[in-house]
Amino acid sequence: MIILGIDPGSNITGFGVINVELGETVLMDSGVIRASKVGEDHQLRLKQIYDSVCELIGIHHPDLCAIEMPIFGNNPQSMLKLGRAQATAMLAALNHQIPVTEYTPKEVKKAVTGNGNASKEQVRYMVETILSMEGGSSVTMDASDALAVALCHVHRGGSTQKAHSKNWAAFIKENPDRIK
């Protein structure tokens, strides 16, 4: 199962793609989506996030999207923008018929480090260790947070098997691209 993890942000959105097969988790891709400050037009940044997530979906064909949800903040405007960025990424996945699962920051940290109050550095270290990434600290904090969200889905017992169709008619309806 291919899982797209997303750490949403209105300026920088982290992404991570992992493949889970037969109990083995393999890193496929990670990075960030930098929404340019096009005249500070927030709507255009959201479009950049949407288009970039759609492009990632087209490249990797994930089976599921795991996304971190914003919990609280001191600045209501910042929280509103963060919520919009999260909704934009979710909409991109849902428009491609990819199920979305949300996790709180504490759930993500606890699943990856064992400590719901872990620092970003601790999360990045554990992500690099779990995924056998060489080079140490080669991944940005935003990308490691996104990979942690994807790993959280696996560690929290989220589905890592594709759902089986009830019958052949259902399979054909659910997978028109697999029929020749």
- At 60-116, the pLDDT tens digits run 999 999 999 988 777 888 888 899 999 999 999 999 999 999 999 999 999 999 998
Closest CA to 9 of 107, 99, 84: 84
Whether residue 49 is predicted with pLDDT greater than 50 in this model: the reply is yes
Quote the pLDDT of residue 158.
Answer: 65
The domains of the chain, with CATH numbers, are 2-178 (3.30.420.10)
In angstroms, the CA 173 to CA 180 distance is 13
Closest CA to 145 of 101, 180, 97, 111: 111
What rounded mean pLDDT belongs to the chain? 87
From the candidates 63, 107, 128, 142, which is the catalytic residue? Answer: 142
Instruction: Say whether 68 is catalytic.
Output: yes
Provide the whole-model pTM.
0.84
Instruction: Say whether 142 is catalytic.
Output: yes
**Exposure of 24 by Cβ count < 10 A (0-12 exposed, 13-18 middle, 19+ buried)?**
exposed
**Percent of the chain residues past pLDDT 70, beyond the cut:** 83
Quote the pLDDT of residue 175.
Answer: 63
The single residue listed with the structure tokens 């991944």 is 139
For 135, the token pair is 């080079």
At position 31, the amino acid (one-letter code) is G
In angstroms, the CA 1 to CA 69 distance is 22
Closest CA to 144 of 161, 162, 127, 165: 127
- Helix pair angle (141-155, 120-130), 10° resolution: 60
From the candidates 63, 68, 107, 145, which is the catalytic residue? Answer: 68
